[in-house]
């Protein structure tokens, strides 16, 4: 299991940079050991409890983790399903997001990558690409400690489509316990 502190910052068009505080309960696991199958698969489930001043409803997020390594290069694809479980948007259907990334893992201390996040809307009425919220993130994992169990993942996101915010900064500190 993993404990993580989320510090999300966003810069919506026409507004100043602001922190968005979120609490979450999460589970992250894999179906088999890394490298045993042609594609490594896992599941990430998160229940999001946002600050009421930011977002009124709670949300369930289920993310498939599909990963393949080629030498020091890792490719990840995360089809993600989100459902609002309380608040004003509870009547909305399940939403689809398609996220992915490439990571260069040669160093045990610094691992750069490029991530793509794209939110397509409800499954029953998916948005065309130009209406989706799509971002590209140059990112890096900075790994601390002799066991490598503390990771700081940070990146700068740039909106590629009109509905997306111009800029998003993310910073996630993770502590692995086993």
pLDDT for 74 beyond 90: yes
Q: What residues contact 134, with CB distance under 8 A and at least 6 apart?
A: 116, 117, 118, 119, 159, 160, 161, 164
For domain 2-176, say whether CATH 2.60.40 is its number.
no
Model-level pTM?
A: 0.80
85-95: pLDDT as tens digits: 998 889 999 99
Tell me the average pLDDT across 153-173.
Answer: 93
């Amino acid at each position: 299991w993993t404990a993580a502190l989320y510090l999300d910052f966003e810069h919506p068009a026409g507004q100043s940079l602001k922190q968005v505080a979120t609490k979450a309960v999460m589970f992250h696991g894999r179906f088999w050991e890394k490298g045993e199958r042609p594609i490594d698969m896992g599941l990430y489930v998160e229940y999001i409890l946002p600050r009421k001043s930011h977002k009124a409803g709670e949300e369930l997020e289920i993310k498939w983790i599909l990963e393949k390594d080629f030498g020091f290069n890792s490719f990840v694809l995360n089809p993600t399903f989100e459902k609002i479980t309380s608040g004003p948007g509870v009547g909305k259907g399940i939403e689809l997001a398609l996220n992915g990334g490439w990571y260069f893992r040669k160093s045990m201390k610094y691992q750069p990558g490029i991530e793509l996040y794209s939110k397509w809307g409800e499954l029953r009425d998916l948005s065309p690409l130009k209406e989706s919220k799509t971002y590209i993130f140059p990112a890096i994992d900075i790994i601390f400690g002799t066991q490598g169990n503390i990771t700081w993942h940070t990146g700068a996101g740039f909106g590629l489509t009109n509905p997306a915010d111009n800029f998003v900064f993310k910073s996630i500190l993770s502590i692995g316990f086993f």
